[in-house]
Structures are given as structure tokens and as C-alpha cells.
Amino acid sequence: MSHSIMNNNDQQVAKAADHKPILFFLALSLVTALINSSAPTPLYPYYQDRFGLSSTMLSVIYGAYAAGVIVSLLVVGQLAKRITDKRVFILPALGVVLVAGIVFCFADSFASLFVARLLTGIGTGALTGAANVSLAKIGPNDKGKTAALIAVLSFTLGLSIGPLLTGLAIHYEFYPAQAPFLVISLMACVAFLGVLKCWPRALKTVSAEKISANLSAGNIENRPVFALCAATLFLCWMVAACILTFGPNLSQRFYHGASNSNLYFSFLVTFYLLIAGISQIVCKKWTALVSVQYGYLIQILSFVIIGSAIAWSSALLACVGVILAGFAYGALFVGSARWVNQMATPANHAKSIALFYLVAYTANWVPIILGCGVDILGLTRVMLGALVVFSLVEVGLLATISKQRVAWLSSES
């Protein structure tokens, strides 16, 4: 009997080792797509000056990414049940990311930047749905914790590398509008070949049983909890979108127009997202509900500090506020993603993931609304007003969590 158990354990360890390469390349796929989504951030002032773009036009370019993601997620969500081999989505999506990188290299107008961002969104959306489901199928049987952690860390790493890559290219004047996107295109090729070569042959026969073990903790019919998770990720990404969109211009104000302000901002965004990654590892020890609660508390505090930084033009306060926002980002992201993985049933997992990220990606349209306000009222007034509104919304959600805590803890366990 014990010999049989040992053999089963050995087989599980061997199987996990066999799947490490594909888990790596699935993570690389997500990282590549997210680098492509964040790499243009330090270039926005450059694009604005070169092409004569208003804040509204700049926000529309940023929001085109969300439009592409949402369309892609809707398609993947509808087709995922009928197409079990997720390579059908993943490989073409990597091809679209590659093409988007090439379009960025040759972008010379508002239209070409819009198309590049739209393609980036389409590729990222397909990868978000299909790669997340594949991670849950292939990863260990731990109720989706590892799948959620890999996905969230991949998102965070990709978002943090993008601005740093472009910021360094700008600082050293090494083809800043082309070099980062050539690197991204090369990474997409590597990820494509890796997924093609390392995809498990036995996945189709194992996946139904395995995903059932991974995702047996609940179901999507617990709609209040799902709504909380989706709202949490929406707010989390909305804050990140505002930092990435308006951060470069705020940075120039904080550093009084210094030539290195974009590089400083690139380092700050990278540090913000690295802190988010550390936060995700720390929060893995907590329950999903506790992660969300602490995330909201810390994010509200970060809003107060960032608002003070804007009012007083303090670079130091801005750095402290952004770092706290990074920790909150990680806690909110990993908590909500894990909770959705635990609630979803095998039958609706792909649809649940697609809907979860679809709601979240609409957060990228918030900067469009704010951009219109900036053109009329100015950056300082709009940012301070937005921070007040964001804080009030999160206080309301915290109050809701406090009232429903006992019921939601039982649904999570």
C-alpha cells in the first residue's frame, strides 16, 4: 500500500516537472503581451509632442487597448467551451502581439498608434482568457492558487518591465520608439515556439479531471462575491491605468520639467509593480477576503498621500503614495483572482475568467473620461477630484465587506 502511494507521489512529482516548461512559456506569453501594453507609457509625452495629440486623444489611444481586449475576451469566452485545445487561441494571439510590436516600430500618426494599441489589446485579451484556463488545467491541484499566482505575477512582471525598457531606451537615446518593440516581437516568437513545442500531449485526457480538482471550491452562482471580485479588479486596474496614462505628465511637474523626469517615472512605475509582485507573494498566505480588505485599506491611504503630493508638488510624497498603491495593487489583484478561481466550476471556468477580466479591462476607459476633463479643467483639479471619488467608492466597498464578512468567508472556505 505504502509502495503504491510512493509511486503515485513520484508520478505526480514527475508530471509536475514535465509541465514546468509549458507553465514557463504560458507565463512568458502573458509577460510579453503585458510588456507590449505598458512599454508605450514613457513615450506618451514624446507622441504628444511629435504628433500634436491632446490629452483626450492620448487617452483614446490608451483606451483602444481595452477595446481590443474586451472584444477578444468576449470571443474567447464564447468559444472556449467548444474548443478544448487552447493553443487555438494562444498561438494566434502571440502572432497578433508580434504584429502589434512591429506596427509600434513604424507608428507615425494617431491612427497607427491607435491600431497598434488595438492589436495589443486583441492579443492580450485572447492570452488572458486562454492562458489563465490553461494554467489552471496544467498547474498543481491546489484549488487554483498556483494558477492565480503565476497569472498575477506574469501580469505584474510584464507591466513593470515595459516602462523600464522604454525608459532606458529614452535615456540612452537608443531608438526609443523602435528598440523596445523589437525586443517584444522577439519575445513573442520565443513564446510561440515554446508553447508549440512543450504543450502536453496528454492534456486533453487529463484536463477535465484535473480542472475539477483545481476548481471545486465553489461556483459562479455566488454573484455578490463575483461582483465584489470584478469590482475590486476594476478599481485596481483603474488606478494603474491612471498612473500609467497621467504619470509622465505629473512626473514632469514634480521634477519641474527636468530632462530625466521620464526616466525617473519609468523607475518609479517599475518599482511600483515590483512592490505589487512582492505583495502578491506575501498575500498568498492570507485568505482571498483578507487580501482584498487590506488592499482596500492601503489603497485608500495611498490616495490620501498621492493627493497631498499633487497639491504640494512633492516628488517624495508621490513616491511614497505610489509604492503603497503598488502593495495595494498586488493584494487586490491576487485576492480577487484567487477568489474567482475558487468559485468557478469546471463547466464555466473559462467563461468566468473571461467575464472577470472583461469587467476589469473596462477600467482602461476611465482615463479617456478623465482626459476630457484634463483638457477642460486642468490636470491638478481632475486628479484631486478623481482621488476623492475613488476613495469614497472603496470606503463603500469596505463597508459592504464588513457586513457580509461571515457569509463570504464561508463561501471561500
Residue 335 lies in a domain: yes
Q: Do 281 and 141 lie in a common domain?
A: no
Helix axes 315-343, 288-312, angle to 10 degrees: 160
pLDDT at 350: 67
pTM over 0.75: no
Q: Do 126 and 268 lie in a common domain?
A: no
Range of the domain at 287: 220-412
Alpha carbons 12 and 14: distance in angstroms, whole number: 5
pLDDT at 25: 94
285: three-class secondary structure by DSSP? coil
> Cell 505526480 belongs to which residue?
12
Q: Do 237 and 132 lie in a common domain?
A: no
Q: Do 189 and 252 lie in a common domain?
A: no
Residue 212 lies in a domain: no
Alpha carbons 229 and 356: distance in angstroms, whole number: 8
* Domains contained in the chain, number: 2
Q: Do 153 and 256 lie in a common domain?
A: no
Residue 317 lies in a domain: yes
Residue 215 lies in a domain: no
Alpha carbons 348 and 367: distance in angstroms, whole number: 32
Q: Do 113 and 190 lie in a common domain?
A: yes
Assign residue 186 the CATH number of its domain.
1.20.1250.20
Residue 356 lies in a domain: yes
- Asked if 288 contacts 411 with a C-beta cutoff of 8 angstroms, the reply is no
Q: Do 257 and 338 lie in a common domain?
A: yes
pLDDT at 7: 47
Q: Which residues contact 29 (CB under 8 A, 6 or more apart)?
A: 90, 93, 94, 127, 131, 191, 195
Residue 397 lies in a domain: yes
Q: Do 194 and 231 lie in a common domain?
A: no
Residue 132 lies in a domain: yes
DSSP string, 341-361: HHH--GGGHHHHHHHHHHHHH
**In 3D, which of 77, 81, 82, 85 has the Cα closest to residue 128?**
77
pLDDT at 220: 46
DSSP string, 238-277: HHHHHHHHHHHHHHHHHTTT-TTHHHHHHHHHHHHHHHHH
Q: Do 224 and 186 lie in a common domain?
A: no
Q: Do 273 and 160 lie in a common domain?
A: no
Residue 239 lies in a domain: yes
**What residues in the chain have per-residue pLDDT under 50?**
1-16, 204-220
Q: Do 184 and 261 lie in a common domain?
A: no
Q: Which residues contact 101 (CB under 8 A, 6 or more apart)?
A: 36, 181, 182, 184, 185, 188
Q: Do 35 and 175 lie in a common domain?
A: yes
| Exposure of 135 in the CB half-sphere (CA atoms within 13 A) | 30
